[in-house]
Amino acid sequence: MAPTDDPLLLLRQAIAADGKIIATTSADSSEEAPLSKATHLVFAHPSRIAVPIDAPTRFTSTEGKAVDLRSIYFAWLNRDFAIPEYNAVATKLNDEMAGAAAVHMFAFVERLVLFTFLEGAQEESEFIKPLQGDKDSAAGTGAATTGAALKTAPAASGRSGRGTLDPRLAQIYNGERRMGDRNTALRGIKATDFSHVRKLAAPFMTRKPGGPPLATGVGSNPALALNQKPARRPDPIILLSPSASALLRMSNAKAFLEGGRYTPPDHNATSTMLHISRTIKEIDPSRPMRFILVEGPEQFKPEYWNRVVAVFTTGQAWQFKNYRWSNPADVFKHILGVYLGWRGDEPPESVRAFGHRVLSCSVEKWRDPGQPGAETSRWRDREVVEAIWKGIEGNMRAKGWRKDAAPTSI
C-alpha cells in the first residue's frame, strides 16, 4: 500500500491541513451522509480520494484486531468526550446501524495513542503497524509523513502556529522530537499506576508526636487511610421467625418479598441466609438495596443490630431469647415488627398486645393449585407485600438510613 493510499495517513494529513472530510453513500457522491449510512469517506486534500468507510487501518486494538476507518473517524469527531459519553454515542451509532456494522469502542490508552498520532505528536506506537515496505517501524510513519508533506508543497500548515511552510522547512520540522501533551508526557502509551507513591509519602504525612495533625494529607483524615476504599453502605437485615408455624420462612421468603407471590414454606430447606433486592425510592432511587434475611441472630456482631430493619414474628416469646433485647416489647420499641397470618384468622393475643408496634398482615389461605380457582386468590399477595415494604421503608427513614450510610444506632 502506497503512503498516499493509507487511510490512517490520509486522515492525519487532512486533519493537519484542515482539509474537508465528507462521509458519503458512494465513491462519486459529494453529498454528506450520516455515518450510520455512509459507505465511503471522501478526502479533499491533497486531492479527492474516496476510501471505503469500513476499510481496515493500521491501527490495531488491544485484542490485536485492525480497527476500521469508520471507528477511527468517529472517535476523532468525538475526541472531546469523556469515556462514558463517548461510549454512549458509540452505542447509539451501533443501534442506528442495526448490526450491519459496529464501531470499535476505544479504551483510554487506545484513544490517547490515536489522538496523539492524528495530531502529529507521535510517530510510532505498538498499536500502529508500520507501512509495508518500511525497513523498521521506528522510521516508517515519519518517512511516509515527510514524503506526503513534500508532495503537498508548497503549502503546509504548522501545528504550533508556524504558518505556511515550504517543503524543506517541513522536512526539518518533521525531524524534531515531538514532546506531545501532558498526557503523553506523564503516561506515554500505557497508563501508569502511581499508588506506590502514597505508601512512600505516608511516613511524612502522619501526625508528629506531640504536635497537631496536618491540615491536609492522609494523616488529617482517617477516611483516607492507605489503600482504603470509600465506605460502602452496609446491607439492611431482616430477621425471620424460626418457628415451624411461621408462614414465611427462608424457603419462600424470596418468592414472597421479591416476587410478590406466596407459596407454602419447605420445612426441609436448610438455608440459613438469603439475599433479596428491593428499590427503596425514598432512600436510594438510583439502585436497588440488598437485604439480608436470617432466622436468628446467633452469628450477629453487636453493630449488626443497627442494621436490622424488620423482625417477623409469630408472637412466641422464645423467638427473642438470643436477641439484643429479650423482652418482645423492647424489641419492637426499636425495630418494626411484622406478623403474617391467614386472611380471616385473628392474630394471636400476644401479637395484638404489641399494638401498633407490630404490623399485622394477612394473605389468602393456600389452596392446592390443582383445585379450580386456586390461582384467582393469589392476586392479593402483591398488595400485602407492598404494605410490608411500605412499613419497612418508613421505619428505615425514621431510623436514619441514607443513600450512602446506615444508622449508627437504633
DSSP per-residue string spanning 280-335: -TTT-TTSPEEEEEES--TT--GGGGGGEEEEE--S-GGGGTTSSSSSHHHHHHHS
**Tens-place pLDDT, residues 269-308:** 777 889 999 999 889 888 899 999 998 888 888 889 999 9
- Does the pLDDT at position 141 exceed 80? no
Which pairs count as long-range contacts for 208-217, CB under 8 Å and 24+ apart, including other chains?
Answer: none
Residues 24, 164 within the same domain: yes
What is the Cα–Cα distance from 73 to 176, expressed in whole angstroms?
A: 27
Do the domain assignments include residue 368? Answer: yes
User: Is 372 inside a domain boundary?
Assistant: yes
Rounded Cα gap, residues 352 and 148, in angstroms: 90
CA distances from 109 to 112, 168, 274 (A): 5, 34, 41
CA 206 to chain centre: 34
- Mean pLDDT, residues 12-19: 87
The residue among 375 and 400 whose pLDDT is bigger is 400
Last residue of a domain, one of 187, 211, 246: 187
Q: Which of 122, 115, 88, 90 is nearest to 104 (CA)?
A: 90
Q: Do 45 and 138 sit in the same domain of this protein?
A: yes
Q: How many domains does the chain have?
A: 2
Q: Which amino acid is at 168?
A: R
Cα 226–Cα 229–Cα 232 angle in degrees, nearest 5:
145
Q: Are residues 271 and 373 in the same domain?
A: yes
pLDDT of residue 278: 92
The per-residue pLDDT for 210 is: 54
104 with 117: CB under 8 angstroms? no
The stretch 63-92 carries a mean pLDDT of 90
Positive or negative: CA dihedral 74, 79, 83, 86: negative
What is the pLDDT at residue 354?
86
DSSP helix/strand/coil, 266: coil
pLDDT of residue 310: 94
- Start-to-end Cα distance in the chain: 74
User: Per-residue pLDDT tens for 44-53?
Assistant: 877 888 899 9
Note the pLDDT of residue 208.
55
pLDDT above 80: residue 185: no
Q: Is residue 230 one of the residues assigned to a domain?
A: no
Distance CA 316, CA 133 (A): 87
pLDDT interval class at 341 (50, 70, 90):
very high
CATH of the domain at 374: 3.40.50.11990
- Alpha helix stretches (DSSP H) within 4-134: 7-16, 69-77, 83-97, 108-118
Residue 281 lies in a domain: yes
Letter for the amino acid at 119? E
Helix (H, G, I), strand (E, B) or coil at 156: coil
Q: Which pTM does this prediction carry?
A: 0.45
Using a pLDDT cut of 90, give the percent of the chain over it: 28
Which of these ranges, 176-180, 201-205, 278-282, has the smallest mean pLDDT?
A: 176-180
Residue 403's pLDDT is: 86
The total number of residues shown for the chain amounts to 410
Q: Which residues contact 375 (CB under 8 A, 6 or more apart)?
A: 369
Whether residue 293 sits in one domain with residue 176: no
pLDDT of residue 340: 94
The pLDDT mean for the chain works out to: 80
Ramachandran assignment for 98, one of left (phi > 0), alpha (psi -120 to 50 degrees), beta (any other): left
Decide which of 146, 165, 187 is a domain's last residue. Answer: 187
pLDDT confidence tier of residue 133, bands split at 50, 70 and 90:
low
How far is residue 135's CA from residue 49's CA, in Å, rounded to a whole number? 27
Give the max Cα distance, the chain. 101
pLDDT value for 186:
60
Residue 166 or 361, more confident: 361
Q: Are residue 145 and residue 274 in the same domain, yes or no?
A: no
- 94 pLDDT exceeds 80? yes
| pLDDT value, residue 231 | 64
Q: How far apart are CA 344 and CA 302, in angstroms?
A: 39
Alpha carbon of 250 to those of 27, 166, 247, 264: distances in Å?
67, 81, 10, 11
Helix, strand, coil in percent for the chain, rounding step 5: 35, 15, 50
Query: Are both 367 and 300 inside the same structural domain?
Result: yes
The secondary structure element, H or E, covering residue 278 is strand 273-278
Q: What is residue 145's predicted lDDT score, i.e. its pLDDT?
A: 44
In the three-class reduction of DSSP (H, G, I as helix; E, B as strand; rest coil), residue 192 is classed as coil
Place of cell 484513544: 111
pLDDT in tens, 209-268: 555 554 444 444 554 445 555 567 889 999 999 998 899 999 899 999 998 889 888 877
d(CA 185, CA 43): 31
What's the pLDDT at 187? 57
Instruction: Say if 157 falls within a structural domain.
Output: yes
Nearest C-alpha neighbor of 282 from the set 391, 403, 388, 387: 403
Lowest-pLDDT range, 71-85, 190-204, 241-255, 277-291?
190-204
pLDDT band at 361 (very low <50, low <70, confident <90, very high): very high
- pLDDT band at 336, cuts 50/70/90? very high
pLDDT of residue 257: 93
Residue range 164-189: average pLDDT? 64
Tally of CA atoms within 13 A in the half-sphere of 24 that contains its CB: 19
Cell numbers of 398, please? Answer: 425514621
User: What pLDDT is attached to residue 239?
Assistant: 94
Most confident of 66-75, 155-164, 198-207: 66-75
Q: With a cut of 50, say whether residue 16 has pLDDT above it.
A: yes
Tell me the C-alpha distance between 389 and 395, whole Å: 10
HSE of 153, CA atoms in CB hemisphere, 13 A:
12
- The answer to whether position 78 is within a domain reads yes
Cell 502514597, residue? Answer: 198
Considering the domain architecture, whether residues 21 and 154 belong to the same structural domain is answered as yes
| Band (164; pLDDT cuts 50, 70, 90) | low
Mean pLDDT score, 166-184: 67
Beta bridge partners of 24: 40
Give the span between the Cα atoms of 227 and 234, in whole angstroms: 19
Same domain flag for 388 and 246:
yes
User: Which residue range(s) make up the domain with 92?
Assistant: 3-187
